[in-house]
Chain A
Amino acid sequence: MSSPILEGRSLRVVYAGQSILDVPATEVCEGEVLALIGPNGAGKSTLLRLLGLLEAPTAGEIFFHGQPVGRSRRGLLALRRRFATVFQEPLLCDATVEANVALGLRMRRRPTHEIRAQVSAWLERLGIAHLAARQARTLSGGEAQRASLARAFALRPDILLLDEPFAALDPPTRDELVTALHGLLHQEALTTVFVTHDRNEALRLGDRIAVMMDGRIRQVGRPSEVFGRPTSEEVARFVGVETILPGRVAVERNGLLVVEVNGTRIEALGHLPPRQQVLVCLRPEDLTIRRKGESGHPESARNHVEGVVEDVVPIGAQCRVRIDCGLSLVALVTKQSLDDLALAPGVAVVVSFKASAVHLIPH
């Protein structure tokens, strides 16, 4: 990984005697997209405002290229002009789209020909060139957010800060914009801090993910690490692990573990001493289901558990199926397999999953 461009050290924010944020260390590296995820009120936006030099921490310091940013107004303004931020609301001024996209460049007193060139280039790249002369207040939510993104990109910032930029948009518009942003971030290799409570957006855009809860960063890592190997129950729940069961290591042999969960034996990978208490985590997409009595084991799956379908809940194109196996498992299946297997409450099934799909949190 390249060197950190932006760092926060010993950051604390206290409002009215209440600690809102407590982050001993965090860093953003050159060219990466750091996604800050977490539930509402976790302190993500507060951390973003600190990193964007829009708010001073109660204690601690922000470093830009290794240098403390200090608190002088002039110094902060000069640094702030190397950043650009897009918020959840587009927050456009009451003027034309073109004037809005030019706003930050005007503040920097760039020459007119440069402003004109940048503005038209970015209107084009965000697909809103045809709206240039429109009054900003007449735009739809998606169009306005595109204008807001164009306004930020036109500044060619060293660091782009995004504070839930898609949270207020309807799902199709959001998908379009996430796709557009993904492309732009890749092309520009722009260092970005992206706040979201939507884990799919974080997975899609983030090179690294930091999970925040109660004002603290609970886990940071590559998406596969954070989503596949959460280090605590809360993080596991937030990143979409739906089955979390308390168990105990029964046997450990050459990196293969047998864990006992409520009388059921589950095989997992890892090195943990026997009798270690653990939380067994299973992501719903890692479970496969077939009807009891029908053949066709997934060859590599070492775990097969018999049970009965408890309920089936449709979510988007997929269905969440809860199975009672003595322990309660949750699996995701496509509508197609749901129909093929004729899954319904009361149907007897076998649930299979690989030993490598089982994540254990010692506890």
Chain B
Amino acid sequence: MELIWQGFQEAVRLIAARDRSVFQITWLSLQVSGAATLLSLLLGIPAGVVLALTRFPGRGLLIATVNTGMGLPPVVVGLFVSIFLWRSGPLGFLGLLYTPTAIVIAQFVIAAPIVTGLTVAAMQQLNPKLRLQLLALGASSSQLLWLLMREARLPLLAAVMAGFGGVISEVGASMMVGGNLLGQTRVLTTATVLETGKGNFDVAIALSLILLVLVFAVNYLLTWIQQRGRRP
């Protein structure tokens, strides 16, 4: 217990002292996971909407694949992204391995199926007759899509939260494709692993606390947007 208390004190001290490296690590975590989540939304929401609202051969297989992807182990993603970005790999010429961009790519691969899968579920829980009603009211295709997405905004925001939560807390892929380089690719999770390995539990606890507060703050914001104006 003593250890946790010390860690807590150290965290407060580090934050109060505006420790440069801690701030930098936190900021990088936010940037990388924020970018990966944003990209996964750009792909996942339209893809999920199409999968939910249209019928085509192979659709069932595709949805099953997406749902499987929702549980993709980050280390597996890390391994394959590493292979692709490896100097001799197919994308090696880009020189992206051990850069923040590599982490963004890996986290995007992790978050995209989560966002897509939850978008499919969000759109499918809408009353199917609502679509007919909106068409009957004179909605164009784009108006129809927009209104249906607005109707599903609660579960869609849950998809955003799940996507962000999945990547900000992920460590395996970030470690493998980022390399945990101080000042360049060290994020909150990889730093925590490193400090724990070195026995610096107080610093590790401090980093964990910051991570928890960050995740809470982002989810609180999204929940506030989601629940706005909603009374039971």
Contact = CB atoms under 8 A, between A and B. Distances in A.
Contacts of A103: 137, 147
A52 B136 contact: yes
B195 interface: no
A362 interface: no
Contacts of A84: 136-137
A168 interface: no
B4 interface: no
A155 B140 contact: no
Nearest to B143: A107
B137 A89 contact: no
B138 A91 contact: no
A118 interface: no
A56 B101 CA distance: 49
A80 interface: yes
Contacts of B130: 91, 93
A93 B136 contact: no
Contacts of B147: 93, 103
A107 B138 contact: yes
A111 B71 CA distance: 49
A359 interface: no
A161 B136 contact: yes
B127 interface: yes
B127 A107 contact: no
A4 B137 CA distance: 23
Nearest to A88: B129
B138 A80 contact: yes
Contacts of A85: 133, 136-137
A81 B129 contact: no
Contacts of A81: 138
Contacts of A155: 137-138
A180 B68 CA distance: 53
Contacts of B229: 135
Interface string A32-65: 0000000000000000010010100000000000
A83 B137 CA distance: 8
B39 interface: no
B95 to A, nearest CB: 47
> Interface SS of chain B: helix, strand, loop or mixed?
helix
B136 A89 contact: no
Contact of A87 (B133, B140, B150): B133
A152 B135 CA distance: 12
A152 B134 CA distance: 11
B132 interface: yes
Interface string B212-231: 00000000000000000101
How many B residues touch the partner, as a band? Answer: 10 to 19
Contacts of A89: 127, 129
Nearest to A138: B231
Interface in B113-155: 127, 129-130, 132-133, 135-141, 143, 147, 150-151, 153
B231 to A, nearest CB: 8
Contact of B136 (A83, A94, A108, A135): A83
A274 B13 CA distance: 111
A57 to B, nearest CB: 16
Interface in A82-122: 83-85, 87, 89, 91, 93-94, 103-104, 107-108
Contact of A77 (B127, B138, B153, B231): B138
Quick one: which of B135, B137, B151, B229 has the most chain A CB within 10 A?
A: B137
A233 to B, nearest CB: 34
A77 B140 contact: yes
Interface in A153-198: 155, 161
Contacts of B133: 85, 87, 91
Contact of A54 (B136, B140, B231): B136
Contact of A94 (B129, B138, B143, B151): B151
A199 interface: no
A59 B136 CA distance: 21
Given A52-B136, A54-B135, A107-B138, A91 B129 contact: yes
A53 to B, nearest CB: 9
B139 A107 contact: yes
B138 A108 contact: yes
B20 to A, nearest CB: 46
A47 to B, nearest CB: 15
Interface string A225-256: 00000000000000000000000000000000
A141 to B, nearest CB: 15
Nearest to A77: B140
23 contacts: A54-B135, A54-B136, A73-B141, A77-B138, A80-B135, A80-B136, A83-B136, A87-B136, A91-B127, A91-B129, A91-B133, A93-B130, A93-B147, A103-B137, A104-B138, A107-B137, A107-B138, A107-B140, A107-B143, A135-B229, A135-B231, A152-B137, A161-B136
Report, nearest first, the 8 A-B pairs whose CB atoms are least far apart: A85-B136, A81-B138, A91-B133, A104-B137, A107-B138, A91-B130, A107-B139, A107-B143
Given A52-B136, A83-B138, A93-B151, 5 more contacts: A77-B140, A80-B135, A91-B133, A107-B140, A155-B137
